[in-house]
Structure 1
Amino acid sequence: MTTIALDDVLIEIGTFGRFQLRQFLLMILPLVFNAFSNLSYVFTAADLQYRCYIPECENRSDALYQAEWLHAAVPFDRNQPVRCERYEPFVNTTDSDYYLQCQAPDFNRSAITRCFDFVYEDKAATTIVNEFNLTCDENTWKITLVGTIHSIAQALALLIGGLFSDRYGRKWALLLCIALGSTLGIVRSFSMNYEMFLVLEFLEPLLGSTMYTTAFILGQELVGPKQRVFAKSLCLVVFALGEAAMGVIAMFVLNWRYYLLALFIPGLVSLSFLWVTAESVRWLLSKGRNKEAISILQKAARVNRKTLSESTEKYFASNHYQRNESPESLPASTSFFQQLAEVFKYKRLTIRLAICSFCWFTNVMVYYGLTLNSVTLAGDKNVNFILITLVEIPGAVSMNFIMNRFPRRMTQFVSLALCGVLCLVTLAIPEDDSWIHTAMFLFSKMAISFSFGVLYIYTAEIFPTNLRQSLLSMCSMIGRLGAIVAPQMPLLTKVWKPLPMTLFGSIALLSAFTILEFPETGHIRLPNTASEAENLKQSSSDNVDLDGVLNEIGQFGFFQMRQYGLMVLPIIFNALFTLSYIFTAGNLEYRCLVPECEQPGTDVYDPFWLNESMKVDNDERCQRFQHIANDTLIQHECNSESFNSSVIIACDRFVFPSDENTIVRDFNITCAQNDWKLTLVGTMNNVGQFVALPIAGYLSDRYGRRWILLVSVAGSAIFGLLRSLATSYEMFIAMEFLDPVVGSTMYTTAFILALELVGPKMRVTGNNIISCAFSFGEALLGLLAMYFRDWRILLRLLYIPGLLSLPLLYTTVESVRWLLSKNRKEEGFKILKKAAHINGKTLPQATLESFHTTTSSNTSHKSIESKNYANLVRDALTNPGLVLRVINCSFCWLTNTMVYFGLSLNSVSLSGNKYLNFILVSLIELPGFFLMQLILDRVGRKKTLFTTLVLSGLFCIISVFISDIPALKLALFLLSKLSITMSFGTLYIYTVEIFPTNLRQSLLSTCSMFGRIGSMVAPQTPLLAKFWTPLPMVLFGFLGISSGIAVLQFPETLNNELPNTLEEAMNMQGNDIIPSADM
């Protein structure tokens, strides 16, 4: 009998019809209740604003939180009264006359005493803080312990709930969870003390926290593959609305006891109609209860107005499903440990389970960490909580569109990495700029919410039916460790205030990399057995041989020279565009304007009275001494007697030493508190590149290199010119972001277009031409900035040639390798014939016919064009060797970009003329390229890359120990730049040679995208010097040496043909193995 899978039956009865919709509508209630249960402690155990009660100055009945006399009686910190301390009164009395005279002389400000009675800011609000007197720092742990105890209970319960659900059914597990969770939540509202509250806070999730996973499985398992993302989006939207509803309820129900009743009573009421929900058909089939499953399928078909075929009913009724579809299904009596032992028999499933658990831990910790911290942001805490929950909805909606168009692994990876980057970017934003800080906070939450939604679907798709809920619950249980840790994150701020966000960002990025080990599961059937789950992969692509033809027509003839001549233009533009912010957002020298001694617009930067009016050598350029007289003096009357050097005041007008104009002057970005705005420009530029590169790489691999190059040059030039017209800092920073978003693939696309039609022996020469063009562009940028010192004029000079070059760039030819990989052979052959003609060569007909036969034979087996992009990526990222190669390559790119741009950015801070320094540091790259030309083809790619990275790291570290010798320090600076330049050039060639044609630009763009994390961080590295001056150079050195070691995993590619398929790439000589010590 023909095998019939359940997903085939779903197509027959409807993959998401009225029956599934009704099921999802019923699941809305437990999802909302789970949101209430998960986060109710955010408000019931919320900390409050309070201060000491001052009996000498106020009565209990009319005490105000912000009394007029409060500064006299209570110490203040950041404009808020200290919560548990007050000044001692000189006289201990509550006489009414004295009560009316509470002034500073009445209190001893040198004697601070502890208080035990308090006045609360909002008298109507009650939480366990004022109910159980959990005030002051010594009780902070009791407040944070509530959330931790809740999460510990969830971690313990999820495993038990998963086992119960897999053994006795999803439906009854769901009903039991809601009944017990609601009952214990109501009982908690009657707590008599903190201990009783804490015990019930533990028991409620212990018996009810599997509500979400059970409802999710019930809703998801009877949905077809194409509708799973939509179904999950519904779950996320409902959960987010539940969270937001909880914030709205907290806004109006201020008493924590009534608040709990409002949350949990509806749970008990819902049981009256939740019992009508249907059991999971997949679970029934996995337990051999086929008749019940058929009954539900028949009902679903009837409700969906479909017909369940008789053959299908007979197939399931005769137990063929259980024998054919699930031969490895475990018996119902199998224990959890036996089930786990079954998983451990499969190497991939074991690794998958470990990585999945880590990803759950990351998602849960960051998700709840951001949610819990939302109430500490500036503004109304209830509104903040509602916003932080509602921002999940656009994440859920966008997930519905994105996941059906991009692979699961890619979306999971990007969302986690983006969350990590956004968390780290918030470290550079001062808390005073609350709207920017809140915006980044919201974007971080949206990214992790998106990631969480993808992870739920991904977890359901990578594990087999008979273990799905158990393993999902196990991963979720490990994830709950993150929820246990999350409430304790505020304690880390006592060590270093940004430490929680640093931890969130770092662990999210690390988790993103581990996702690459997962198989791609988009649009495939749910696996029913461990064997099916173990083998979620597909075969690789087909072969196209071109390097032999290049030997016939010339590896680097006039045709390739002309192509390179055209590609030099976008390479130079990329250098000009990428680093323009060094001069447009460059910091300037300035000092305070002294209106008592000079007029605005003065051109005298160093008058004779300057030392008398301010500290000239002071790092703070926005302070000066107070002038003694109030009337305006003429210049010659300003002397040492005109200023009081013991009183320092801030200034808001400045004098600049030259006519150089950057955004510092135009947008008044002066003083230390605005330094972050200048460093943010470079970071936003690189964030734009980071966001754009994978998308542009995908478009380039799908639609061709040539058109993407033209769009990049045009789009970048337009946004660059718009940036020169910016009327505010916000407009400037927006254009600084959009420019690389549309144009950042310029370099990689031009590089690929130029190099793909060059033979193996001439690739180093070709790469050197590109690298020299980029260095020339950098030096040209410094030269133009030296003579055109107005940033608006400079931008127009840089970007107008980009638009003018488009007609010339239009004549470039498409990549032959790309055309062949897309089965567009005739176009490819036409370009090869043209190349042979221009190079003065003859392409023999026999060679062309043989080549045609080879490509036709390869593509006839399985057309590369018919294989969609998701399948190509799936092939690549289910290959462990290639995954390791991508990870190592990405790390090497991160190191190279961080050190390369870090040294370039810091060159303008060296002693001497900053423009000449920048030009010299750019030109020092040229000998690096020529040395690379001599070395690469003699010693190989691996040894060259290893040596240059390690040398760069050593030079950086050695420079730390010779800071007192400027000349030697400068020499080491240049040697570091020389080494990292050679490393960067080698890495570009290496990256092209180790990846196959049909994924070459995508993987190059992916590695380059991670490299952009380095260039994002590079503008912020000067901030590390505030902790320890040599720290940036130590970091550069450590990364250089670490990356050098990682390079040893790469295969040697010297004189090898470019691989066209995944199989060729992985079978290259020296494949990814480090020789053992005894070899």
Structure 2
Amino acid sequence: MTESRKSNLNLEQNVTPNEPLDLDDLLPVLGEFGCYQKLLLWFICLPACIPCGFCAFNQLFMTDTPDDFWCNVPQLSEFNLTEEQIRNLAIPSTVENGVMQHSKCARYAIDWENLFNISDPDSIDLQPNISWPTESCRNGWVYNKTHVTSSIVIDFDLVCDHDIYPTIGLSALNVGGPIGVYVFGMLNDRAGRRIAYFACLATLIAGSLITAASVNFWMWCFSRVIVGLTIPAVYQIPFIIALELVGPDYRSFVTVMTCTFYTFGIMMLAGVTYLVPNWVEMCLYTSTPFILYFLYLFIMPESPRWLLAQGKFEEALNILEVMARVNGKKLPNSFRIKLHERVEADKMRVKENVKSLNSFDLCRTPNMRLKTLLITLNWFANETVYLGLSYYGPSLGDDQHLSFFLSSVVEIPSYLCCWFIMDSWGRRWPLCLLMILSGIFSIITVLVPDEATLETLIIFLVSKTMISASYLIIYPFAGELYPTSVRGVGIGTSSYVGGLGLTVIPFINYLGKENLRLPLVVMGFISIFGGITGLRLPETLHHRLPQTLEEGEEFGKEWDLQDCFRCIPIRPQPSNDASYENIDNLPPELELHTLGSILMEPDGMTETEQTPLDARQRRPSMRHLVRQASIINTQKAEGAMKLTYWF
């Protein structure tokens, strides 16, 4: 009997009106990663992730500050004086680091027309009197545009007393993120993935157009909040669409490829900002081309999981039939016939039995409370340091565009390394070790001489590589530690609290104006502290994932110092606990038809031991042994997939 025939028979046996619908049972029949999914991934979902990287970091190049500037003195422009003569005459000089330099924020408070005879320019004494009174700049500034030809700093005079304004603008961008995740998250669940994505994309483009049209700083700052609403939602939605259409064994691949395309977008941004120095044009070039993405309206499908959860069966069947046809498969008749009954039965069962859980339920018991605190702390440290180093990259080295490009390139090998080490060394030790080493490399930059810019850049890149790797680990690690019943709530809570650090990190980077390495030291200590505290978390590799809050409370409760210092996780003995998701203990192709333990008889035969749990109907997805490293199975009450990040 062919494999397709077997899958069809298994599906027909599994499809009963009393069980909730699980699309993962159908994907082996239609193709878990067939031609349809490949076309969708490579030509729609992955390119759709690029706008997030462009619009999240293009702001760094809008706020460049020229190396040299001084007060504008319009009265002296009436005299036949060169720019250098005006500067020497009207701007006081001070000694900084043993070098005589003109002041950037002060000028002599002199009425130049009364001091000099405008009709006799030859009578002007070009030697200033150091006893003259000084004042702050009242008529703007003159900028040396040798290296920085255009920025909002030049256009809006954001220097001296206003030099913190670009930092406020960067913080405003990050303020919009948590709000946007909530708003577009609700839209994502209620209106569908397609509508949510194109609404998010339209918001991003509208915010970018307002940015380009800004005539003052506060208008520009407001526009950045609008753009911030779409970050990271504009990245997550196409990722979810792709994730919900592939089988469990391919979700880790989709995750890595999504992160890689996001990084490719950041790398391309370095080239665009180098070729287009004007900040208004650069803003338009990094946003308006994505208007073409609205052509996806004609080809991007809605998620069939969401359609099934909403009871839109005809639309879901149309998409699944197209998938089957493109993949060279056939949609089973049993699925067509019993689809409506199963979804309706699933909705009734949810309404009767499922209790809504919230963030407070995570803190009701001591072990879950401790794990929630440590996960959130690690999330905060990871996200803050990762984004902080990404923002700080252009400040290091002799060429900001090259430094930013290199800080993006080093993320790719970190993703590939994580893919392998997590299945060998687990999650806890790689996560904590990478965070600690990243912090150490950030801190030791203080030992490098000020003039050693190349050495500082190299140490920074090593630190960025390690924090990028740990940042990728925290998502699946947190998902495995939270019980299935509250996994979506737990990850949402930790990511929201962690996102609060993004509003603070621009001000930490602002400290670099006085001391270039001070922000690296601060971020280094944050990373080390997060890495050390993370050692208290239990390892999840080779362990069955908790399903309920009660099981989550027991998971890791017997933790001791021996567990803390164990680098290579020990594979536990198979357990008879039927309420956990099974993983590597048994062959992945084996299929569970009951929830009893599978006992091996001396003669090599197996028999199923009946338990009181056998009388209960279980989800079809629980019948299959799944590999923990590649899937975390979570479902919302309505049946829609909730978890965003998979490994």
Q: TM-score, normalised by structure 1?
A: 0.44
Corresponding residue of 1:127: 151
How far apart, CA to CA, are the structure 1 residues paired with 2:298 and 2:358?
29
1:532 aligns with 2:543: no
- The 1:283/1:39 distance shift into structure 2, 3 A limit, reads same
Hey, what's the Cα distance between the residues in 2 that align with 1:292 and 1:349?
Answer: 41
Deviation of residue 379 (structure 1)?
0.4
1:939-992 deviations in whole A, cap 9, x for unaligned?
xxxxxxxxxxxxxxxxxxxxxxxxxxxxxxxxxxxxxxxxxxxxxxxxxxxxxx
Residue of structure 2 equivalent to 1:613? none
Give secondary structure in 1 for the equivalent of 2:418: helix
Answer whether contact 1:159 1:477 (CA < 8 A) is retained: no
**In the alignment, is residue 31 of structure 1 matched against residue 31 of structure 2?**
no
Structure 1 residues 215, 107: CA separation in 2 closer, same or farther (over 3 Å shift)? farther
CA contact (8 A) 1:229 1:457 kept: no
- Structure 1 residue 487 displacement after superposition: 0.5
- Alignment of structure 1 residues 418-567 onto 2, 5 Å: 418-459=437-478, 472-492=491-511, 498-516=517-535, 532=547
Could you say if the C-alpha distance between residues 189 and 57 of structure 1 is closer, same or farther in structure 2, counting changes exceeding 3 Å?
closer
Could you tell me which amino acid in structure 2 is paired with residue 19 of structure 1?
Y
Residue type at the aligned position of 1:304: N
Distance 1:99 1:253, change over 3 A: farther
**Matching residue of 1:393:** 412
Distance 1:444 1:119 in 2: 34
2:397 to 378, 385, 410: 378
C-alpha displacement of 1:151:
0.7
Partner amino acid, structure 1, of 2:54? F
- Structure 1 pair 469–187 and aligned structure 2 pair: CA distance change class (3 A): farther
Q: CA deviation at 1:446?
A: 1.5
Change (3 A) 1:22 1:86: same
SS of the equivalent of 2:301 reads coil
Aligned: 1:49 with 2:67: yes
TM-score by structure 2 length?
0.70
Secondary structure of the residue aligned to 2:229 is helix
Write the distance in 1 (CA, Å) between the matches of 2:416 and 2:100: 41
1:87–1:465 Cα change, 3 Å = same
Aligned equivalents of 2:320, 2:329: Cα separation in 1:
10
Taking the aligned partners of 1:60 and 1:383, their CA distance within structure 2 comes to 42
- For 1:103 and 1:220, the matched residues in 2 are separated by 74
- Deviation, 1:449, is 1.7
Q: Does 1:18 align with 2:35?
A: yes
Larger radius of gyration: 1
Whether contact under 8 Å (2:71, 2:107) holds in the other structure is no
* Preserved contact between residue 181 and residue 230 of structure 2 (Cα < 8 Å): no
- How many matched pairs? 546
User: Does the CA-based 8 Å contact 1:282-1:465 persist in structure 2?
Assistant: no
For structure 2, the 5+ residue unaligned runs are 1-17, 572-647
State how far apart, in whole Å, the 2-side matches of 1:424 and 1:17 are.
48
Percent identical pairs in the alignment equals: 22
Question: 2:561 pairs with 885, 903, 922, which one?
Answer: 885
User: Which residue identity does 2:154 align to in structure 1?
Assistant: N
Check whether the contact 1:392–1:446 (CA below 8 A) recurs between aligned residues.
Answer: yes
Instruction: Find 1:161's aligned residue among 174, 179, 184.
Output: 184
User: Deviation of residue 463 (structure 1)?
Assistant: 6.1
Q: Secondary structure at the match of 2:69?
A: strand
Aligned residue among 84, 101, 112 for 2:104: 84
Query: 1:165 Cα shift?
Result: 1.9
CA contact (8 A) 2:538 2:559 kept: no
SS at match of 1:254: coil
Q: In 2 relative to 1, CA 493–380 (structure 1 residues): closer, same or farther, beyond 3 Å?
A: closer
How far apart, CA to CA, are the structure 2 residues paired with 1:170 and 1:78? 61
Instruction: Summarize deviations over 1:680-737 as a string: whole Å, max 9, x none.
Output: xxxxxxxxxxxxxxxxxxxxxxxxxxxxxxxxxxxxxxxxxxxxxxxxxxxxxxxxxx
CA displacement at 1:122 relative to structure 2: 3.0
Q: Considering only aligned residues, what root-mean-square deviation do their CA atoms show, in Å? A: 4.8
Distance change >3 Å, CA 456–CA 484, structure 1 → 2:
same
Letter in 2 for 1:885: L
User: Which of 159, 163, 169 is residue 146 of structure 1 equivalent to?
Assistant: 169
> 2: CA distance between counterparts of 1:346 and 1:22?
46
Report how far residue 524 of structure 1 moved: 9.7
**Cα distance between partner residues in 1 of 2:310 and 2:485:** 8
Q: Which amino acid aligns with 1:271?
A: F
What residue is the counterpart of 2:642 in the other structure?
none
SS at 1:319's partner residue? helix
Distance 1:888 1:270, change over 3 A: closer
Distance apart, 1:394 and its partner CA? 2.0
Pair 1:176 & 2:193 matched: no
Partner of 2:130: 108
Residues 128-153 of structure 1 show CA distances to partners (whole Å, capped at 9, x for unaligned) of: 111111111x1122121001111111
The 2-side partners of 1:78 and 1:294 are apart by 76
1:292 to 1:510, Cα distance in 2 relative to 1, 3 A: farther
Q: Output one character per residue of 1:370-394: Cα deviation in whole Å (capped at 9) or x when no partner.
A: 1221222130112211221222222
- 1:306-321 matched pairs, under 5 angstroms: 306-310=329-333, 316-319=339-342
Deviation at residue 276 of structure 1 after TM alignment: 2.7
For the 8 Å contact 1:88–1:109, the answer to whether it is kept is no
Aligned position for 2:629:
none
Deviations, residues 987-1027 of structure 1 (Å, cap 9, x unaligned):
xxxxxxxxxxxx89989xxxxxxxxxxxxxxxxxxxxxxxx
Secondary structure, in 3 states, of the residue corresponding to 1:16? coil
Distance (whole Å) between structure 2 residues aligned to residue 419 and residue 342 of structure 1: 34
Q: Which amino acid aligns with 2:498?
A: G
The alpha-carbon deviation at position 404 of structure 1 amounts to 4.7
**Amino acid corresponding to residue 50 of structure 2 in structure 1:** V
CA pair 531-397 structure 1, distance change in 2 beyond 3 A: closer
**Closer, same or farther: CA 146–164 of 1 in aligned 2, 3 Å:** same
Corresponding residue for 1:1011? none
Distance 1:202 1:430, change over 3 A: same
Q: 1:431 to 1:358 in 2, by over 3 A?
A: same
Residues 475 and 308 from structure 1, CA distance in 2 versus in 1: closer, same or farther, beyond 3 angstroms?
Answer: farther
Distance in 2 (CA, whole Å) between partners of 1:89 and 1:294 is: 78
Q: Offset of 1:440 from its aligned partner?
A: 1.2
CA distance in 1, matches of 2:356, 2:79: 65
Counterpart check, 1:229 vs 2:244: no
| Partner Cα distance (1:78, 1:284) in 2 | 70
Pairing 1:317-336 to 2, within 5 Å after superposition: 317-319=340-342, 323=346
Q: 1:176: Cα distance to partner?
A: 0.8
Q: Distance in 2 between matches of 1:123 and 1:496?
A: 21
Counterpart of 1:40 in 2: which secondary structure? helix
In 1, the alpha carbon distance for the partners of 2:333 and 2:364 equals 38
The answer to whether the aligner puts 1:266 opposite 2:289 as a matched pair is yes
**Corresponding position of 1:216:** 239
User: Whole-Å Cα distance in 2 between the matches of residues 521 and 59 of structure 1?
Assistant: 76
For residues 15-62 of structure 1, give each alpha carbon's deviation from its aligned partner in whole angstroms, at most 9, with x where no partner exists.
Answer: 333333333231233321111221222112233322225867999997
Per the alignment, in what secondary structure is the counterpart of residue 547 of structure 2? helix
Report the Cα offset of residue 502 of structure 1.
3.0
The equivalences for 1:238-387 within 5 A come to: 238-274=261-297, 276-287=299-310, 292-310=315-333, 316-319=339-342, 323=346, 339-340=358-359, 353-387=372-406
8 Å CA contact 1:395–1:450 kept in 2: the answer is yes
* Correspondence for 1:578: none
Q: Is the 8 A contact 1:315 1:321 kept in 2?
A: no
The 2-side partners of 1:248 and 1:487 are apart by 23
**Distance of 1:274 and 1:78 partners within structure 2:** 63
In the other structure, the counterpart of 1:919 is none
What pairs with 1:660-675 in structure 2 (closer than 5 Å)?
Answer: none
Structure with more contact order per residue of length (Cα contacts < 8 Å, sep ≥ 6): 2
The equivalent residue for 1:920 is: none
Instruction: Give me the whole-angstrom Cα distance separating, in 2, the residues matched to 1:496 and 1:123.
Output: 21
Contact 1:73 1:87 in 2 (8 A): no
Q: How does 1:1029-1068 map to 2 (within 5 A)?
A: none
